[in-house]
Amino acid sequence: MIYWKKNPFPHTGNTLVFFTNENTFKKDLRLQQVDRLVKGRITRKIKEHHFEGKKDESFVVEGGDIYEYVIVYGVGESLRNSIANVNAIARTLKSTSLNLFYSPFMGKDYFELGKQIALGFQLSNYSFDVYRGKEEVKKKHLVKDLYFYSEQDLPKEFGEGVKWGQVLSDGISLTRNMVNEPASHMHPETMVAKAHAIEKASNGTISVQVLNRDECQKLGMGSYLGVAQGSDREPKFIILKYKPVILNLVQDLKKMPKQVRHDKSAKKICLVGKSITFDSGGLSLKPAKSMETMKMDMAGGATVLGIFDILAKTGKVAHEVWGVLPACENMVSGKSLRPGDIVTALNGKTIEVLNTDAEGRLALADAVAYAEKYIKPDYIIDLATLTGACMVALGEDITGIFGNDEVSVKKFIEKAKKEGEEICELPLYKPYLTFLKSDIADIKNIGGTGYGGAISGALFIGEFVKKNKWIHLDIAGPAYNSGAVKGVIGKGGTGWGILTIMSLLT
């Protein structure tokens, strides 16, 4: 839990977190005050460690009569990650609570401050323990509470920020849980169940429609169904719709949140999430090692569901938001799509499938074509763990963004930078479309040169968006963390994109 109140400095408690930085730590009167209370231990540690208050520098001392421990930490650009890192230190100390005081360098945007504190604390406590034994789970120590104090009364915006950060954290955790589930437990039917659970919790603002194989066939989704045909699990084409609250004339305007009042500038936005619940590569079979994490190939769809979970709990979004999830498995059987087969997409375009492991773009082709034809949104944003080539270009931390509208792409990048989600624009370089020309169909699903794979994948999807403003996010790297913990990012699913997209929507 997170608590906040007015209190003198220093208060008493379990573990004090003292944030500082290069510019303030030498002349910080509060730090000097704590140092006197702990009998000079802080001064000694500063000398021993050559501490300069730089980003992520830290040390711990015993807290004397006021705290059990004092953690002195050099805060970086991201308060969210700094809180996550001190929370990790506190867990090793078996702390029960963190005590944090407001400092002027934290800024005057109290809503954002509350939001970042909630995100840092709640997301750093996230863990996926569903399949661990009870004894193993008991061994894992969590810091239960964070207390935030200020010598002045905190404005109501701080509390609103904390609550919003908690709602965002819940949506991110839902996405992480889905991505971390094994494919035996997270499949098209499970994704349908998640969508309906969100619908049920939304108090009527969200509705869900699910198209089965026959219905998709009637619509002409041969590209998506081609990916699904090798699996015994039935494909599920999931469509979600969030309808903002529109005021009834008899309602009292003063009692309604400003954000949900009818806004004539509201847009219709469609989020499309790649939802391959397991990707074997099909007959173009992946190596065994590459399949170990392919349960995460539905991270785009899980991200969309995480966003809808947030939409179900908030009245902050005035736009009409749609979600499209072409959920299926890419498996091997006698029914599997073969290299050299031709499929026909919803928009009538024929595709020569030369590599069945380039399946995400096949499913997305029908998804974006469906969105454009039947939803007719102002914007389409697709999220997909699409290409290893994007990871070669940008590494594991950075999303590649492509788009056909410069203003939309620029705005998305600005929001991502503000939210601390790393992103880099890559070009929709039209001359590379020549590599996708097929001798026997309208287009083929791979370029065949071995180069520019992320661009080729984006160009392919773009061939199925003819009218809409469209953004493609290749989240192959940052959607899943196989390495060490990095701030609020633990091992496994990350929920990348939720913060940026919710910032755009609100």
Q: Could you give the residue numbers annotated as active site? A: 286, 361
Tokens of 197: 């659970």
- Tokens 């869900």 found at: 208
SS3 label, residue 472 = strand
d(CA 232, CA 475) in angstroms, rounded, equals 27
Token pair recorded at residue 201:
């919790």
Q: How far is CA 231 from CA 107, 294, 326, in A?
A: 53, 15, 14
Task: Please list, in sequence order, all residues whose beta carbon lies within 8 angstroms of the beta carbon of residue 139, skipping any fewer than 6 positions away.
Answer: none
Length of the chain: 506
User: Pairing relation of β-strands 443-444 and 492-493?
Assistant: unpaired
Separation of alpha carbons 479 and 420, rounded Å: 14
Q: Residue 70: which of 84, 59, 57, 82 has the closest Cα?
A: 59
Whether residue 320 contacts residue 375, with contact meaning beta carbons closer than 8 Å, is answered with no
Residue 20 pairs in a beta bridge with: 74
- Which phi and psi angles does 341 have, rounded to 5°? -70, 155
Distance CA(153)–CA(156), nearest Å, equals 9
Is residue 312 within 8 Å of residue 200, measured between CB atoms? no
Query: What strand order describes the sheet that includes 145-150?
Result: 2-6, 145-150, 97-101, 13-20, 67-74, 58-62
